[in-house]
Amino acid sequence: MREQELIVYKDFEKDEGSLLYDMSWLMKHYQDDRENREDMAGLLYDCIHRLLEMAGNHGFYGNLWHCYLSNLLVNNENSYSKACEIRGAVEGTINKAVLHDIVILKELFDYDFSDMVRTLGVKDFDLITDYVSSDSESKVYNSRIRERICHLAVKFTQDHTPEEMKDTLTEFYKDYGVGKFGLHKAFRVAHDEDGVKIVPIQNIAHVYLDDLVGYEIPKQKLIENTEAFVEGRKANNCLLFGDAGTGKSSSIKGIANEYYEKGLRIIEVYKHQFQDLNDVITQIKNRNYKFIIYMDDLSFEDFEIEYKYLKAVIEGGLEKKPKNVLIYATSNRRHLVREKFSDKEERRDDLHAGDTVQEKLSLVSRFGVTIFFAAPDKKEFQNIVRVLAERYGVKLPEEELLLEANKWELAHGGLSGRTAQQFIDYLLGRKESTCQ
């Protein structure tokens, strides 16, 4: 095989690429009498082992060799795949270079292992050619991503020419993107000895905006700003503030799920990571996705200075914030930096007290859209309970349901959407069945 001749699809992750090179070596040398047959059989068995391990970790099924190669292609971030993500086919000489690689990769994809297996005396090779996966969850991908990669592997088998295979791959990049940003909706930031890394969150809650009962006006404001952003129009940084348990964080999860297909990605950043924001933005600014940097439960004590990093990133540094990046934050406070009555006493000795006040308020002013989520009143709370009870199949007479809900909220945090959901979860978890 000619894997060493690859031009564009060349830099694979070390652990993932090693299997490709081992299998390619076997394809070239399994008939060589100068090589030890037992050692080669052992290497093939080792490759089978690694493919089975991959199936368990990734949830793949069917032809595992095809799934492995497909997984390499959808994760390889190169000049071509990144140009095609979300946008589709591009023009230029790069297409010839990619087609050169696809010719080689198709040879690997279509390779007939029967003679190798017979020559080396390896048994049960069909374990990896028609693999049936267990019901256990993937440790790497959720079921949605796994299905897409397995479906791509099958689609490649239907491509008769390298040109068709290239078109299939390019269409995948257009529909789903490439690499971690293409396959995942949400991310967190990690900092290790190698620097700042953006790490996928594998299982984001399947919350949609329609799942949130009430709050139609706040949700509409959030939708309008987010849709403007994903469609390439002018949009603002957004602050969602208000009472606890009113759906602010759930709304962010909702837009992550609603607009993933349109190229929206969410990166969660914690307060102690604000000094890494410039590194994060550097990694995402030239990608074709739209990124929301999300900060949950954002607030600062008067002695904390991390908000100054945030101010510089949002607006004020010499480098302009990229058009594909917005900041969304949630907070229980309207004014994010805490102020105390004692501050007024201190300002009497401050020659420029007005400047001090503006310093603390200037962070909020850099969020162009502020959306208020208020706690529901009694009537709204009861309506939320009714809707959730119907949604989850809770079977209680309405009078009893509302009476129990009132008792629950008095003992468990007051009137809020979160309290209503917790009450329904309590009913669903009781030993005596209250649901269908």
24-28, 144-148, 289-293, 354-358: which range is least confident on average? 354-358
**CA 78 – CA 9 distance, rounded (Å):** 7
> Which tens digit of pLDDT belongs to each residue from 201-244?
987 878 888 888 888 899 999 999 999 999 999 999 999 988 88
State the angle between helix axes of 143-157 and 162-176 in degrees (0 to 180), rounded to the nearest 10.
160
Average pLDDT over all residues of the chain:
86
The reply to whether 58 falls in a domain is: yes
268 within 8 A of 204, measured Cβ to Cβ: no
Q: Measure the CA angle with vertex 49, ends 45 and 55; round to 5°.
A: 145
Q: What is the pLDDT of residue 316?
A: 53
CA atoms within 13 A of residue 176's CA, in its CB half-sphere = 20
What backbone torsions phi and psi does residue 131 show, to the nearest 5 degrees?
A: -85, 135
User: Which among 136, 157, 183 is the end of a domain?
Assistant: 183
Residue-range definition of the domain harbouring residue 200: 186-373
Give the domain CATH number at 220: 3.40.50.300
Residues 262 and 382 in one domain: no
Exposed/middle/buried for 405, CB within 10 Å: 0-12, 13-18, 19+?
buried
Concatenate the DSSP letters of all residues of 314-369 into one string.
HTTSSSPPPTTEEEEEEES-SSSB---HHHHHHHTT-TTHHHHHHHHHHHHHT-SE
Residues 13 and 81 in one domain: yes
Residues 245 and 309 in one domain: yes
The reply to whether 74 falls in a domain is: yes
What SS3 state is found at 264? strand
User: Which among 158, 183, 208 is the end of a domain?
Assistant: 183
The reply to whether 435 falls in a domain is: no
Whether residue 352 has pLDDT greater than 60: no
- CA quadruple 220, 329, 373, 368: dihedral, nearest 10: -60
* Comparison of pLDDT for 331 and 69, the residue scoring more: 69
Residue 353: pLDDT band (50, 70, 90) is: very low
Q: What integer is the mean pLDDT of 50-59?
A: 93
237 within 8 A of 368, measured Cβ to Cβ: yes
Residue 375: pLDDT band (50, 70, 90) is: confident
Residues 140 and 119 in one domain: yes
What SS3 state is found at 11? coil
Whether residue 337 has pLDDT greater than 80: no
Whether residue 356 has pLDDT greater than 90: no
Q: What integer is the mean pLDDT of 42-68?
A: 95
173: tokens are 């990049």
Q: What integer is the mean pLDDT of 60-79?
A: 95
Q: What integer is the mean pLDDT of 166-174?
A: 96
Whether residue 348 has pLDDT greater than 60: no
Residues 225 and 331 in one domain: yes
Residues 170 and 201 in one domain: no
Residue 138: pLDDT band (50, 70, 90) is: confident
The reply to whether 325 falls in a domain is: yes
**CA 256 – CA 264 distance, rounded (Å):** 7
Whether residue 416 has pLDDT greater than 90: no
Residue 17: pLDDT band (50, 70, 90) is: confident
Q: What is the pLDDT of residue 289?
A: 95
**CA 307 – CA 298 distance, rounded (Å):** 10
As a whole number of angstroms, the longest Cα–Cα distance in the chain is 92
**CA 248 – CA 227 distance, rounded (Å):** 18
Q: Over pLDDT 70: what percentage of the chain? A: 86
Whether residue 347 has pLDDT greater than 80: no
Q: What is the pLDDT of residue 13?
A: 73
> Which tens digit of pLDDT belongs to each residue from 87-110?
999 999 999 999 999 999 999 999
What SS3 state is found at 401? helix
Residues 205 and 254 in one domain: yes
The reply to whether 405 falls in a domain is: yes
> Which tens digit of pLDDT belongs to each residue from 259-278?
998 999 999 998 888 888 88
Q: What is the pLDDT of residue 3?
A: 81
Residues 383 and 240 in one domain: no
The reply to whether 436 falls in a domain is: no
244: left (phi over 0), alpha (psi -120 to 50) or beta: beta
The reply to whether 161 falls in a domain is: yes
**CA 39 – CA 26 distance, rounded (Å):** 11
Q: What is the pLDDT of residue 349?
A: 54
Residues 290 and 206 in one domain: yes
Whether residue 139 has pLDDT greater than 70: yes
User: Which among 149, 183, 217 is the end of a domain?
Assistant: 183
* Comparison of pLDDT for 99 and 192, the residue scoring more: 99
Q: What is the pLDDT of residue 6?
A: 92
Residues 179 and 190 in one domain: no
Residues 69 and 192 in one domain: no
Q: What is the pLDDT of residue 136?
A: 64
State the angle between helix axes of 14-29 and 37-58 in degrees (0 to 180), rounded to the nearest 10.
140
100: tokens are 């050169």
Residue 355: pLDDT band (50, 70, 90) is: very low
- CA quadruple 80, 85, 91, 94: dihedral, nearest 10: 0
**CA 392 – CA 405 distance, rounded (Å):** 15
The reply to whether 434 falls in a domain is: no
Q: How many domains does the chain have?
A: 3
Residues 307 and 369 in one domain: yes
Whether residue 366 has pLDDT greater than 80: no
39 within 8 A of 54, measured Cβ to Cβ: no
**Which residues face 319 on adjacent strands?**
none
